[in-house]
C-alpha cells in the first residue's frame, strides 16, 4: 500500500526545511520562488496536510461553538449559513449548542465546552439576560467570543442591526398608508431588540403626530411562531379597534397572521401586519409578509471573521461593535388603512 506523503516528503522534494513547508502551509512568509516550488510539489504529491496535527501544534481544537436558544428558528438558520460559509475557508468545524434542546433551558453542555476548552471560541446568537453566567464563564476562561444581537448590553465584540432605525421605517411605512390606530407586540420584555424596535416605532409615529397608545403595547414570552398565534387569540378576543399590527419579529408575525386568517380577518383589508428580520418564509406565504430585512448571512460571516481574528491573535482586545443597516421589504400583508 502506497504511503501517504508527509511534510518531510514535501520538504525533501522541494529542497527546503520542514519549517519552511510549515510556514507555507500556515500562510506565513515564504519567498515567491519557494512558494511557487512548494505549490508545485504539494500538487504533484497530492499532499493533504493534517488539520488535526496543525491545530494540535497550536494548542487548538480546530472547532468553534455556536450557542443559541433554539437552532430551529429561521433567523438563526440564515445566520448559521453565513458562519458556515466563512468557516469553509480555514476548514474549521462548528459545534452547535441549543439551550432549549430538551424543551427546557439547560446550559450545562455549553459550560462544559468552556471549562474543558472543547472549542477555540464561541459565537452567542441573540443571547438573553439568562445567558449572562455563560458569558461570564467564557470571559473568565479567556475564551474568545462574539455576541450577535444581544438582548442586553455586552462588553466584548458585538454584531447587531440598527433596530431603532428599523422601528422608524415601519412607522413611516404605516403612516404613509394612512394608519393611525397601531399596536405593537414584541418578544420578551427584557429583549433589547424589542425595546429598540418599539422605541423606533414610537419615535417615527410621533414625528407624524401619531401616538402609539401604551395599552396597545404588549410583550410575548419568546419570539416563536406558536407564541405569536397565542397572542393573536387573546388580541382578537379583546376586539381592539386597530388597523395595523407590528410584531417583534417575523416568526411572531407569521404565527399571528395564521391565526388571524383562520378567524376570517382579511389581511391587509381589515388589518395590516408587519414583522422584523426578513426571513425567507415571509416571502413564501400568502399574503407575503411586510418586514424589515437585516443581512443575517452577512452578520454570520462578520461574527465568524471577528472570532477567528481573536483566535489567531490578529484582533485587538478592545471591545468592538458592528452595526448593520436595515431595509423595508413591502409585501402584501400591508395596505391602506380601512378608513383611508
Q: What is the DSSP string of 263-305?
A: TT--TTTT-EEEEEE--THHHHSSSPPEEEE--HHHHHHHHHH
Looking at the structure, tell me whether residues 157 and 188 fall in a common domain: no
The pTM for the full model equals 0.77
pLDDT at 272 over 60: yes
Average pLDDT over residues 126-135: 84
Average pLDDT over residues 154-161: 88
For the segment 191-228, what is each residue's pLDDT rounded down to a tens digit? 888 999 999 999 999 999 999 999 999 999 888 899 99
CA–CA separation, 79 and 236 (whole Å) = 33
* Cell numbers found for residue 32: 515567491
pLDDT at 31 over 90: no
Assign residue 130 the CATH number of its domain. Answer: 3.40.50.2300
* Cell numbers found for residue 155: 462588553
Give the pLDDT confidence score for residue 57 in this predicted structure: 47
Coil/strand/helix, residue 95: strand
Average pLDDT over residues 30-45: 85
Using alpha carbons only, how large is the chain's radius of gyration in Å? 25
Could you tell me if residue 153 is inside a domain? yes
Give the pLDDT confidence score for residue 94 in this predicted structure: 84
Looking at the structure, tell me whether residues 180 and 288 fall in a common domain: yes
Assign residue 19 the CATH number of its domain. Answer: 1.10.260.40
pLDDT at 262 over 90: yes
CA–CA separation, 33 and 24 (whole Å) = 12
Looking at the structure, tell me whether residues 120 and 145 fall in a common domain: yes
Looking at the structure, tell me whether residues 181 and 286 fall in a common domain: yes
pLDDT at 327 over 90: yes
Looking at the structure, tell me whether residues 153 and 172 fall in a common domain: no
Q: How many C-beta atoms lie closer than 10 Å to residue 236's C-beta?
A: 15
pLDDT at 335 over 80: yes
Question: Are 119 and 113 a contacting pair, CB within 8 Å?
Answer: yes
Looking at the structure, tell me whether residues 170 and 156 fall in a common domain: no
Looking at the structure, tell me whether residues 187 and 285 fall in a common domain: yes
User: Which stretch, 101-110, 215-224, 265-274, 303-312, has highest mean pLDDT?
Assistant: 265-274
Looking at the structure, tell me whether residues 214 and 70 fall in a common domain: no
Those residues with Cβ within 8 angstroms of residue 92's Cβ, 6 or more apart along the chain or in another chain: 62, 63, 64, 308
Looking at the structure, tell me whether residues 150 and 197 fall in a common domain: no
As for how many domains the chain has, the answer is 3
pLDDT at 56 over 50: no
Distances (CA, A) of 175 to 4, 214, 307: 68, 18, 41
Return the sign of the alpha-carbon dihedral for residues 165, 168, 173, 176: negative
Range of the domain at 147: 63-161+296-325
Give the pLDDT confidence score for residue 177 in this predicted structure: 97
Q: Calculate the average pLDDT of the chain.
A: 87
pLDDT at 98 over 50: yes
Give the pLDDT confidence score for residue 314 in this predicted structure: 62
* Cell numbers found for residue 268: 391587509
Looking at the structure, tell me whether residues 183 and 287 fall in a common domain: yes
Return the sign of the alpha-carbon dihedral for residues 264, 268, 270, 272: positive
Amino acid at each position: 500500500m502506497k504511503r501517504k506523503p508527509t511534510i518531510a516528503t514535501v520538504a525533501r522534494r522541494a529542497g527546503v526545511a520542514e519549517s519552511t513547508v510549515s510556514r507555507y502551509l500556515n500562510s506565513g512568509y515564504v519567498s515567491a520562488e519557494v512558494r511557487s516550488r512548494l505549490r508545485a510539489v504539494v500538487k504533484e504529491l497530492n499532499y493533504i496536510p493534517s488539520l488535526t496535527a496543525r491545530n494540535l501544534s497550536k494548542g487548538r481544537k480546530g472547532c468553534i461553538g455556536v450557542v443559541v436558544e433554539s437552532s430551529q428558528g429561521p433567523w438563526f438558520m440564515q445566520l448559521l449559513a453565513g458562519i458556515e460559509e466563512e468557516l469553509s475557508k480555514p476548514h474549521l468545524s462548528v459545534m452547535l449548542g441549543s439551550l432549549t434542546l430538551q424543551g427546557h433551558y439547560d446550559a450545562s453542555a455549553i459550560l462544559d465546552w468552556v471549562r474543558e476548552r472543547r472549542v477555540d471560541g464561541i459565537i452567542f446568537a441573540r443571547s438573553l439576560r439568562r445567558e449572562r453566567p455563560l458569558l461570564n464563564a467564557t470571559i473568565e476562561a479567556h475564551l474568545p467570543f462574539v455576541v450577535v444581537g444581544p438582548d442586553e448590553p455586552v462588553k466584548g465584540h458585538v454584531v447587531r442591526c440598527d433596530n431603532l432605525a428599523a422601528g422608524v421605517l415601519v412607522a413611516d411605512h404605516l403612516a404613509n398608508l394612512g394608519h393611525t390606530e397601531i399596536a405593537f407586540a414584541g418578544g420578551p420584555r427584557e429583549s433589547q431588540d424589542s425595546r429598540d424596535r418599539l422605541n423606533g416605532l414610537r419615535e417615527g409615529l410621533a414625528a407624524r403626530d401619531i401616538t402609539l397608545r401604551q395599552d396597545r403595547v404588549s410583550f410575548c414570552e419568546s419570539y416563536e411562531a406558536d407564541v405569536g398565534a397565542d397572542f393573536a387569540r387573546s388580541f382578537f378576543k379583546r376586539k381592539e379597534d386597530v388597523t395595523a399590527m407590528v410584531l417583534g419579529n417575523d416568526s411572531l408575525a407569521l404565527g399571528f397572521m395564521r391565526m388571524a386568517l383562520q378567524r376570517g380577518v382579511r389581511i391587509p383589508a381589515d388589518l395590516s401586519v408587519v414583522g422584523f428580520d426578513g426571513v425567507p418564509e415571509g416571502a413564501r406565504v400568502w399574503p407575503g409578509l411586510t418586514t424589515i430585512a437585516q443581512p443575517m448571512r452577512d452578520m454570520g460571516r462578520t461574527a465568524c471573521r471577528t472570532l477567528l481574528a481573536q483566535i489567531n491573535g490578529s484582533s485587538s482586545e478592545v471591545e468592538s461593535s458592528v452595526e448593520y443597516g436595515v431595509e423595508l421589504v413591502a409585501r402584501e400583508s400591508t395596505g391602506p388603512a380601512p378608513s383611508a
